[in-house]
Amino acid sequence: MRYGRFDDRLREYVITTPQTPLPWINYLGCEAYFGIISNTAGGYSFYRDARMRRLTRYRYNNAPFDLGGRYLYIRDNESSKFWSPSWQPTRTKLDRYECRHGMGYTTIGSTCNKIEAETCYFVPLGETLEIWRFRVTNRRKKPAKLSVFSSIEFCLWDAQDDATNFQRNFSTGQVEIEDGVIFHKTEYRERRNHFAYFACSGKLAGFDTQRDTFLGAYRSWDSPAAVERGRSFNSVACGWAPHGSHHVKVSLKPGETKEVVFVLGYHENPVDRKFDPPGSQTINKKTVRPVIARYLDSRNVAAAFQALKEYWDGVLGIYQAQSPDPHADRMVNIWNAYQCMATFNMSRSASFYESGIGRGLGFRDSNQDLLGFVHMVPARARERILDLAATQLKTGGAFHQYQPLTKRGNNDVGSGFNDDPHWLIIGVAAYIKETGDWGILDEPVQYENEPGSEQPLYDHLRRSFNYTMERIGPHGLPLIGRADWNDCLNLNCFSDTPGESFQTTTNKDGKVAESVFIAGLFVLAARELAAIAGNRGMAGEARRCVAEAEKMEKVIYEHGWDGQWFVRAYDDFGKPIGSKVCKEGKIFIESQGMSIMAGIGLQDGKARQALESVNKHLATPHGIVLQQPAFSRYYVHMGEISSYPPGYKENAGIFCHNNPWIIIAETMVGNGDRAFDYYTRINPSAREKIGDLHRCEPYVFAQMIAGKDAPTHGEAKNSWLTGTAAWTYYTATQWILGIRPDYDGLLVDPCIPKAWDGFTVQRTFRGTRYQITVQNPRHVSKGVREILVDGRKLSAQILPVFKDGKTHDVTVVMGK
């Protein structure tokens, strides 16, 4: 069953029933102020950091799903009936419902009792606030007398503390109400210099700021006492749960529409000017008043919305494609690119599956995410790289995570994930290929966030490389440490204590367990580093990288090849994992994908053989599972991977993140049909028709789809914030369509289904627009016969960097 449809022209997904299998969400904000919003107006907002600067509360894992949100109530003052125009939280039957999730905004429209309502939620560019533009129309033949109530629940800033530390928090909440604006100022009296505000363009009939007064004791958001009786209590919060609710009366003639704007925002004052008058305890509102006034004016709201649309036109316009496949097109042109921007902004912090109080930004995650967004926001990608590199340790290892608000490495999680440093090389390489900005390598960057420890970024890459050289195990393969890309393959953990973190507990000294995956990644990264060093005139260093890569390749052939596929790892006893000699977990996806991406086995047929094994043992109609056979019980020497029931997550789930590695590998061996087939299996748009099984949003990729061993094979989980976003985007644009930035230009090397007649791509690259038409008259998958640039034949497969800011026409003819 479908729960909606794509509107590609408007770049929206239109949800046509509020009862989706799970809340289907969207993101508001793209700079510093963010929110998640579901199709029934659930979700929450925060400034920069979902844990440390949370503006509104949310009730996780609740029944019913998705409680806490940006709620409005409409009350008919003649009949006393009231309902939520977003369906939740009253869940009153609506005569019409439509939620449009778009680029950075969500509009929820509905009709009930012949009253039509439409609320558009968005964050204006450059601001730290969100707007709810509410429009209400009377479709009755007689006048309507309505009341509109708003409702949000303030979070007391640190979302973790807010949800646990009640002995304190029930006594700290404070608000101010001035000119109809509700100011939330908990802890402003002491060390905070920020506050939240909630304003409304309508004339207030009343307000509430104490949650339990607004709701009434033992009531929930489906029947607030204030709404039921049709009148606010004008409550002033002191302790307990500060809340924001406005009451506005709206009278409408038949056919008449009125607009009310609500503004929820975050504001900081200079520390020495927090209060007005100085010495008082009253918030200084001089700096925030003009901001509020601006956005309570409908004309400015309309202009801000238009500017947001134009921003996305620009960002998405950098890469546009038209292929014979509508699912691929809408992912590449709209949703997958948009999802990459969400992973840029959120990393893995705030979604329906990530509570926002857990993880900060991951070192490995963010470096990989770069592959998906570097072309859209190169300047911000540069900043991200430098932030990440500053959390690198002097050893070359890295803090596994850092908190975006402080940009400091997270000591609780620490380091020791031995793949981490190489992702920095991959990220920097992608950045330079996109921008040609070699100067980034000279940027001084701290180690361990320590002032005075600055070294050029290039030195960081060198230490990344050396990190592995200094951590080689008994077979000559890299030691795995706490884990490699697979956070759940914990070969040094040996935990038998419930609740112990598999990632941060290390009970073995870690001098034996090795990773073939890191070996492959090392070869890939070493070749990139060689190219970078060569380009910078460091021929000796380049040679060393190449030599070490070759040496590692030999080790992989010797100890990492199992006969029909690549071994995954060696455990603490020196026994192979992911080998035919194993009873469970005989073959893993990661080492196949990564080894082949590093070029291993391309010459002698081993790559093809490994891919055949993947196809035989791991591929399912819903994607490629992580390993087989699934682990049927907990193995103390393998850790978290065997903690999941078979078919879920890393225990033989379809971990979509690494499916693209196999797809890239298939394009490298020229198998365009299979590459595209694998891509389509996990493409959410192509899965829209099985919405009842898939259950997650059909417009974004999910981290995981239940594998064949699970009772719910095909069910997706953990949508939005996953490395899948960047990897699928990178795969589709650079390896299937094959328009791939390289150090010296734009490489054209498609690998497509044979049936395709061709496709077109418009790409802005280093300031030049390339209009590329690819023709496939002989129906091949791979191979370029001829390239014409502005009518002139090109001898190489690389489109030159023109540096002229003009548009160039490129015709590519495929064939042998």
Q: Where do contacts with ligand GLC occur on this chain (CB under 6 A)?
A: 348, 362, 364-365, 485-488, 503, 640, 649-650, 657, 703, 722-723
**Distance of alpha carbon 65 from alpha carbon 73, whole angstroms:** 19
Smallest gap from Cβ 641 to ligand GLC, in A, equals: 9
Smallest gap from Cβ 487 to ligand GLC, in A, equals: 4
**Main-chain phi, psi angles of 732, to 5 degrees:** -65, -45
Closer to ligand GLC by Cβ: residue 221 or 522: 522
Closer to ligand GLC by Cβ: residue 97 or 363: 363
Q: Determine which one of 158, 365, 369, 487 is catalytic.
A: 487
Smallest gap from Cβ 648 to ligand GLC, in A, equals: 9
Closer to ligand GLC by Cβ: residue 364 or 617: 364
Is there a cis peptide before residue 89, judged by omega within 30 degrees of 0?
Answer: yes
**Main-chain phi, psi angles of 208, to 5 degrees:** -140, 140
- The backbone region for 584, taken as left when phi is positive above 0, alpha when psi lies in -120 to 50, beta otherwise, is beta
Beta pairing, strands 181-184 & 242-252: unpaired
Radius of gyration, CA atoms only, the chain: 28
**Distance of alpha carbon 676 from alpha carbon 673, whole angstroms:** 5
Is there a cis peptide before residue 124, judged by omega within 30 degrees of 0?
Answer: no
Smallest gap from Cβ 482 to ligand GLC, in A, equals: 11
Residue 439, number of CB atoms within 10 A of its CB: 11
Closer to ligand GLC by Cβ: residue 119 or 703: 703
37: β partners:
26, 43
**Main-chain phi, psi angles of 416, to 5 degrees:** 95, 15
Smallest gap from Cβ 365 to ligand GLC, in A, equals: 5
Which residues neighbour 611 within 8 Å (Cβ) at sequence distance 6 or greater? 592, 596, 662, 665, 666, 669, 671, 674
Identify the CA nearest to 567 among candidates 600, 541, 548, 590. 590
> What are the CA-CA distances from residue 325 to residues 197, 330, 614, 679, 760 (Å)?
46, 9, 25, 12, 12
Smallest gap from Cβ 646 to ligand GLC, in A, equals: 14
Assess whether 329 carries a catalytic annotation: no
DSSP assignment string, 358-377: S--EEHHHHHHHHHHHTTTS
Closer to ligand GLC by Cβ: residue 213 or 718: 718
**Distance of alpha carbon 446 from alpha carbon 77, whole angstroms:** 63
Closer to ligand GLC by Cβ: residue 263 or 589: 589
Residue number of the CB atom closest to ligand GLC: 487
**Distance of alpha carbon 706 from alpha carbon 686, whole angstroms:** 17
Beta pairing, strands 784-789 & 716-719: unpaired
Closer to ligand GLC by Cβ: residue 365 or 514: 365
Smallest gap from Cβ 501 to ligand GLC, in A, equals: 9
Query: What DSSP designation does 6 have?
Result: E
Residue 441, number of CB atoms within 10 A of its CB: 18
Question: Which residue do the tokens 């975006």 mark?
Answer: 404
Smallest gap from Cβ 458 to ligand GLC, in A, equals: 25
Beta pairing, strands 758-765 & 745-748: unpaired
| Positions marked catalytic | 487
